[in-house]
Amino acid sequence: MIGIFDSGLGGLTAYKELHTLLPRGDFVYFGDTGRVPYGSRSRELLMRYARQDINFLLANGADVILAACGTVSSVVLDALKSEYALPLIGVVDASVEAALAATKNQKIGVIGTGATVSSGAFERKLHALCPEISVTSVACPLFVPLVENGYIGRDCAVTRQVAEDYLAPMKAAGVDTLILGCTHFPIISDILADILPETVLINSGSAAAKKVAEACGAQSGAGSASFFVSDSPVNFDAVARVFLGGETVKAKQIDIEKY
């Protein structure tokens, strides 16, 4: 059973890819919609949230867990790995490897939540693997509530306006590759691609999903997927349906504070 968690809808970018790669895999997904956004939380709070998210997935049979959240992956995942016996995979390593493989001009951009960008995790990893790379990082926190509230259409003027503003430094820096370091961001990748048409966009959720699929090998389960959230599922179900191309999700609400 593959467990996936995020603060909300963002982890669906990883689920979508995993579901394609492992159609017979079994998945349990948790979106912490009652406590989103994670990107403005302290390290202490993120530790507590991530432990509860992991404990919930363990209680529901997960034997490998993908932290499909750039914030958790950047800020607390390394510290948590020693607490758990099962494989805990984040989104940083896979995205960095994909970005280094894609760049031709050695100029890479990173966008993520405030916590992710302040942590410097992507930048550190990029420089560790390739010291001469130039990295431009920009925090884009407003994308998270826009996505959670369904402002995801390519023609959405509000999201486009915000994106123009956030991505201006990427244009100025001439990055040829941009890591979408928050898993919510690939949900609006049409808009981001319109603004940076020459730039390769790295989807951190799907890059990490490929790593998980490799680690799991061929799965021979029932092809099941169950979804859980920590607040009313109405909004999650509606946006998930659009993003997943019509797949009905029917998330159940749980009390994450019990875990």
Q: What residue ranges bind ligand DGL (CB under 6 A)?
A: 6-7, 10, 36-39, 69-71, 112-113, 116, 144, 182-184
The minimum distance between CB 162 and ligand DGL, in angstroms, equals: 15
Identify which of residues 133 and 140 has a Cβ nearer to ligand DGL in the complex. Answer: 140
d(CA 204, CA 11): 10
Task: Choose between 219 and 251: whose C-beta lies nearer to ligand DGL.
Answer: 251
- Is the Cα torsion angle 50, 51, 52, 58 positive or negative in sign? positive
28 phi and psi, to 5 degrees?
-125, 125
Q: Judge residue 8's burial from the number of C-beta atoms within 10 Å of its C-beta, 0-12 exposed, 13-18 middle, 19 or more buried.
A: buried
Q: Which is nearer to ligand DGL, 2 or 67 (CB)?
A: 67
Q: Which residue out of 130, 140, 182, 216 is catalytically annotated?
A: 182
Specify the residue, 126 or 182, whose C-beta has the smaller distance to ligand DGL.
182
Residue 214 CB, nearest distance to ligand DGL (Å)? Answer: 21
The answer to whether 69 is a known catalytic residue is yes
For tokens 């956030």, name the residue: 166
Coarse DSSP helix, strand, coil percentages of the chain, rounded to the nearest 5 percent: 50, 15, 35
Distance CA 248, CA 259 (A): 27
Provide, rounded to whole angstroms, the least separation between the CB of residue 31 and ligand DGL. Answer: 9
Active site residue 182: yes
| Min CB(50)–ligand DGL separation in Å | 11
Residues with active-site annotation: 69, 182
